[in-house]
């Protein structure tokens, strides 16, 4: 190749040579002419198009094909042909033709009209008589006979054939017209200027192999030039789901703030999921429409007799009704991670400490753009002798700051097992509005005292998917689990 000529891949050279006739060709034509696989041809077309050596034009054409009824008719004959054949056999009345079964009742009118239009029959004293023209094929028969699986280009039809096509269109399900698109590739002026340089060349090596290096043959080997400006194919290596990255980031932040991770089973007793949290046994959240119960499963309450006695007493005094131990034995898919946290605190009874958990929880709710049946909850608790609501707000601000969330405010609210309670609000720059994120508060004495926890317990938590929605700019939580590759590949590994 002459000095100054661009480096071309052998696939590109083969395509350019095949186009040297100046006749536009399709990708199939190029594959046949060059001996290249279709994938290689498509790749070469994209490379050459990027370099402006070829032009790609998409042409549309209408083709006519046999439809279901048309295919049957092509084999059995048009209704008018079957009618006239019956007439030639001596069946001269409509009743006789129908009795023979050669045509259906719904085809009679069309068959008689078609036979008379083609002058195949004439009516004499109420009887049908075949004429001498009955042997002649009709334009419709000729047209149907020429149609095959590849169809016929409508632009190549004569005026008479187009009129015949219009007649056949009136017959339901006889023919089908499809719009087909065809891509034609041709050389640009820049591509034609390259043709003189595409002479027979010495085969050049494209790969530097281990054998060439160890044997020393690389010194005498002619290597082909490489186009370092050519677009490289996109690579999509395996990676973790973006939500998993968020979970790992949250865990690192908690550990960095001095928290210890705890974990527990997803199936809990109603005692720890509700009763220990001072949730009344007639609370709506405990109904089947809000909670998933494990059908027919109960177990002995996993708590000491002293804990059970104190909690039942608290319920009776606080809610003014008898506490039902059988209700507390029912097994549920945990509706939050708090029962795991509470059991840990009840077991170790810390004077001070910080703990967190991240896990799946389940709510029997209608799936929507902001609600899921199964999702992840992140929860943190901290206890110390003089822990206060100010400390809790400070921890929340520090956590959000490490997540990259700067604008935060708190709103008074109500939760069954914390008092006082707050709702944290963060500003969504994309939506340009404040959105709710985590709930928070201090565990009520009715929760901590029966379990022997003396110091105040600061607690907060919420759905991890909400943080992911803010991070990724999503307005529908279901997008996180849609497994849509285009979105999964678009999420950057690092956030600026």
Q: What would the pLDDT profile of 456-470 be if each residue is shown by its tens digit?
A: 999 999 999 988 888
Residues 6+ apart with CB under 8 A from 257: 354, 395, 398, 399, 402
Residue 65: is it exposed, middle or buried by C-beta count within 10 angstroms (0-12/13-18/19+)?
middle
Q: How far apart are CA 19 and CA 55, in angstroms?
A: 11
Residue 203: the pLDDT is 61
Which residues pair with residue 333 across a beta bridge?
267
Which residues belong to CATH 3.30.930.10 in the chain? 244-266+334-490
Residue 180 belongs to what H/E stretch? strand 175-187
The tokens describing 122, both together, are: 């004439």
Per residue of the chain (496 residues), give pLDDT as tens. 444 556 788 888 889 888 888 788 888 888 888 888 888 899 999 989 988 999 988 877 788 888 877 777 777 788 888 888 888 888 888 888 888 888 888 888 888 888 888 888 888 888 888 888 888 888 888 888 888 777 787 878 888 888 888 888 888 888 888 877 778 899 998 888 888 877 655 566 767 888 889 998 888 887 776 667 767 777 788 888 999 999 999 999 999 999 999 999 999 999 999 999 999 998 888 888 789 999 888 888 888 899 999 999 999 999 888 999 999 999 999 999 999 999 999 999 999 999 999 999 999 888 888 888 999 999 999 999 999 999 999 999 999 999 888 899 999 999 889 999 999 998 877 778 888 889 999 999 999 999 999 999 999 999 999 888 888 888 888 999 988 888 888 888 765 4
Q: How far apart are CA 116 and CA 346, in angstroms?
A: 98
Residue 137 CA to chain centroid, in angstroms?
54
Residue 266: the pLDDT is 94
Q: How far apart are CA 54 and CA 489, in angstroms?
A: 31
Which residues belong to CATH 1.10.10.10 in the chain? 1-62+159-233
Residue 221: the pLDDT is 84
CATH classification code of 1-62+159-233: 1.10.10.10
116 touches 146 (CB < 8 A): no
Look at the chain and count its residues. Answer: 496
Q: How far apart are CA 55 and CA 14, in angstroms?
A: 16
187 touches 22 (CB < 8 A): yes
According to CATH, the topology of domain 244-266+334-490 is BirA Bifunctional Protein; domain 2 (3.30.930)
Q: How far apart are CA 265 and CA 163, in angstroms?
A: 76
According to CATH, the topology of domain 66-158 is Arc Repressor Mutant, subunit A (1.10.10)
């Amino acid at each position: 190749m002459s000095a100054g000529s661009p480096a071309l891949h052998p696939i590109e050279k083969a395509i350019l040579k095949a186009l040297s006739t100046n006749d536009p060709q399709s990708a199939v034509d190029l594959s046949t002419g060059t001996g290249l696989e279709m994938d290689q041809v498509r790749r070469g077309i994209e490379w050459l198009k990027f370099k402006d050596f070829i032009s790609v034009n998409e042409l549309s054409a209408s083709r006519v094909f046999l439809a279901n009824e048309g295919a049957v008719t092509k084999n059995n004959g048009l209704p008018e042909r079957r009618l006239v054949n019956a007439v030639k056999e001596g069946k001269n009345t409509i009743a006789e033709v129908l009795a023979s079964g050669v045509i259906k009742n719904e085809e009679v009118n069309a068959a008689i009209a078609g036979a008379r239009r083609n002058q195949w029959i004439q009516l004499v004293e109420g009887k049908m008589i075949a004429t001498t023209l009955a042997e002649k094929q009709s334009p419709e028969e000729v047209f149907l006979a020429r149609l095959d699986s590849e169809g016929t280009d409508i632009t190549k039809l004569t005026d008479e054939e187009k009129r015949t096509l219009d007649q056949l269109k009136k017959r339901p399900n006889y023919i089908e017209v499809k719009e087909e698109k065809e891509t034609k590739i041709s050389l640009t002026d820049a591509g034609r200027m390259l043709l003189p340089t595409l002479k027979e060349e010495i085969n050049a090596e494209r790969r530097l192999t281990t054998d060439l290096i160890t044997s020393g043959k690389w010194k005498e080997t002619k290597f082909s030039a490489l186009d370092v400006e050519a677009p490289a194919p996109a690579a999509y290596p395996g990676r973790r789901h973006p939500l998993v990255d968020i979970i790992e980031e949250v865990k690192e932040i908690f550990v960095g703030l001095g928290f210890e991770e705890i974990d527990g089973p997803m199936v809990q007793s109603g005692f720890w999921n509700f009763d220990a949290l001072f949730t009344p046994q007639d609370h709506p959240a405990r109904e089947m429409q809000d909670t998933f119960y494990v059908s027919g499963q109960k177990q002995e309450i996993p708590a000491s007799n002293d804990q059970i006695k104190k909690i039942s007493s608290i319920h009776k005094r606080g809610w003014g009704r008898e506490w039902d131990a059988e209700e507390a034995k029912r097994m549920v898919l945990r509706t939050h991670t708090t029962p795991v946290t509470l059991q840990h605190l009840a077991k170790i009874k810390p004077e001070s400490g910080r703990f967190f958990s991240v896990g799946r929880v389940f709510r029997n709710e209608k799936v929507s753009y902001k609600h899921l049946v199964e999702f992840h909850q992140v929860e943190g608790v901290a206890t110390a002798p003089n822990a206060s609501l100010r400390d809790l707000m400070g921890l929340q601000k520090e956590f959000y700051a490490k997540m990259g969330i700067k604008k935060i405010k708190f709103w008074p609210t109500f939760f069954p097992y914390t008092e006082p309670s707050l709702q944290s609000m963060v500003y969504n720059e994309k939506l340009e509005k404040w959105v709710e994120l985590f709930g928070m508060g201090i565990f009520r004495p009715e929760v901590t005292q029966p379990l022997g926890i003396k110091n105040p317990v600061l607690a907060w938590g919420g759905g991890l998917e909400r943080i992911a929605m803010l991070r990724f700019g999503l307005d529908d939580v279901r997008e996180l689990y849609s497994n849509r590759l285009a979105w999964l590949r678009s999420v950057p590994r690092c956030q600026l």
